Chains A and B, each alone.
Chain A
Amino acid sequence: MEINRELTAHIAALSGIRLAEAELDQMTRDLRSVIGYMDTLEALDIASVAPMSHVQERVNYTREDAVRPSIPRGDVLVNAARKTDEYVVTPKTFG
């Protein structure tokens, strides 16, 4: 995959991250090196290996359908930059 400034800027925009010009260059270099390493892995012959999404062997780690107490609303809102007594407040957004 070709990693260039445009792609980095696109991913930053999708993630809601603002990058300065210098950061954009640095991030592009970093991403290129990470994805480049993936290309090294691509060279391996893995035809006989089943796809694996997880390294741990545990499966079906489930729980019963039981309600447990939630946390106090004050704690929910504590990290919000702007809030009312009940809600987190954000700039105008349409649901």
Chain B
Amino acid sequence: MSLYETVVGLEIHVELATESKVFCGCSTKFGGEPNTKVCPVCMGLPGSLPRLNEKAVEYALRAGLALNCEITRNAKFDRKHYFYPDLPKAYQISQLYLPLCVNGYVDITGKRVNIREIHMEEDAGKLVHDLWTDETLVDFNRCGVPLIEIVTQPDMRTADEVVETVRAIRAALAALGVSDVKMQEGSMRVDVNLSVREFGHEFGTRTEMKNINSLKSIARAVAGESKRQIELIETGKKITQETRRWDDNKDTSYAMRVKEDAHDYRYMPDPDLSPFLITEEQLTHIRRTQPELPEAKRLRYPKEYGLSAYDTDILISERTLCVLFEGAAEITRKPKDTANWIIGEVLSILKERGEPADELSLDKDKFARIITLVADGAINRAAGRRVLRALLDSDIDVDAYVKQNGLEAIGGASVVDDAVKKVVAANADSVAKFRSGSEKVFGFLMGQVMKELKGKGDPAALKKALEEALL
């Protein structure tokens, strides 16, 4: 067993899904022509004045309440100064002294991960490196997009715990609808603060890793950085407190810069923004209108739908799956079947195609129709799968597709009986083997009958007919 323990805390930046920026009316839409969603306020031009977007505050409060935080009633904004090309004002509006939310937590398997604070701030622009000219191009579109930064305590000890914490936070924020939480597009960015120590010792020197853009790379980054730090300690070298950039292709991180101390940021209250007070009425309204969170679904699904804990956990890990499940189950009235179709079929098709589940958009009515057709024996399961694939590709009409492709199950007794007779006659050897006790040839005979029916037989009807013929 290793002598060392890994200690991890997270800083998670989440872009809030408002239409306009946090202090001005520019659009927050992702992508688009560079430097076209910019105005004097987000460029920090002299004489411009920021004005707070009330929706951004509401979203931040929703996140704080969902993550069990205490809410600061008299919040304000501070300026964090640093000099960098992606920050035209040369300061970022953030919250140091009175963050909006404090002392929250999120529960993962067997432990509670504490959240020190959630504060509001504005995003910076984007730097694009031009390989031809070896220069950097600056796009200010992202400047001023509202962010919350969720800061956890250093409560995680393994890569699994880190991934589970990020998953839980992401699922909660997705359920609230306050963010897209897309790691690939950068609307959710996870920085990993990591140190190692011998068991029972004081915390070691920590590094901060940035540029981690998937759950998979979080796990790899935690493992990689632990290993690097342990090797330094064991060879008697010192760990530098620094910011490192994770390189997922090379499976390693490299130093970006030595971390600036907080006082180097020269924080001060922002004189351009008035303090804002959170009232009891506002909080009551938000509490009353909070969407159902994954934690509540975890209790409700087994009770209301009779799902297993395992199936429930899979469904509640993605908001899209919950929406599809609840919508389709209401129509099919077969919640277990519906859950099985999502977990067994939809997810495996997505996995095979390498498509993320958080982007799934499947029409609940059409999906429910497939489940019902299979449950009623109108099409068999293999045909159902084929229709599902087609539905994932394009917005087909399920019944028309079944008809056009001749997928209706052949359940008519005479057709099935004819096929069975034909197979029994043509496979006398196998039939004899079966009758003398070799049960495994039954599957072979079933296959032959199904082939005879061009794969469209209803397996239940077919099995019954074959069993009778072989008696």
Residues in A lying within 8 Å of B, measured CB to CB = 11, 14-16, 53-54, 56, 58-71, 73, 76-77, 84, 86-95
Contacts and interface: CB of A to CB of B under 8 A. Distances in A.
A56 B36 CA distance: 34
Nearest to B16: A65
Contact of A60 (B19, B34, B83, B277): B277
Contacts of B56: 65
A53 B275 contact: yes
B57 interface: yes
B83 A76 contact: no
A62 B409 CA distance: 62
Interface string B20-40: 100011110000011111111
Nearest to A80: B138
Contact of B276 (A62, A76, A94): A62
A18 to B, nearest CB: 12
Contacts of A11: 266
Enumerate the 5 nearest inter-chain pairs by beta-carbon distance, A residue then B residue, closest first.
Answer: A68-B25, A65-B55, A87-B137, A53-B269, A95-B127
Interface of B: 18-20, 24-27, 33-40, 43, 51-57, 76, 81-86, 90, 126-129, 134-140, 245, 256, 260, 264, 266, 269, 271, 273-277
Nearest to B140: A76
Contacts of A86: 33-35, 137, 139
A67 B36 CA distance: 13
A94 B129 contact: yes
B83 A16 contact: yes
Contact of A93 (B90, B127, B275): B127
Contacts of A89: 135-138
Contacts of B126: 95
Q: Which of A56, A69, A71 has most B Cβ within 10 Å?
A: A71
Given A63-B52, A70-B38, A73-B35, 12 more contacts: A11-B266, A14-B82, A15-B83, A60-B274, A60-B276, A65-B20, A66-B20, A67-B25, A71-B40, A86-B33, A86-B139, A90-B137
B259 to A, nearest CB: 14
Contacts of B274: 54, 56, 58-61
B82 to A, nearest CB: 7
A67 B83 contact: no
9 contacts: A14-B83, A60-B276, A68-B39, A70-B27, A71-B40, A73-B38, A87-B137, A92-B136, A95-B127
A84 B137 CA distance: 9
A77 B24 CA distance: 19
Nearest to A53: B269
B53 A62 contact: yes
Nearest to B276: A60
A92 B134 contact: yes
Contact of B54 (A62, A68, A92): A62
A60 B274 CA distance: 7
B135 A90 contact: yes
Given A65-B20, A87-B128, A59 B138 contact: no
Contacts of B82: 14
B138 A70 contact: no
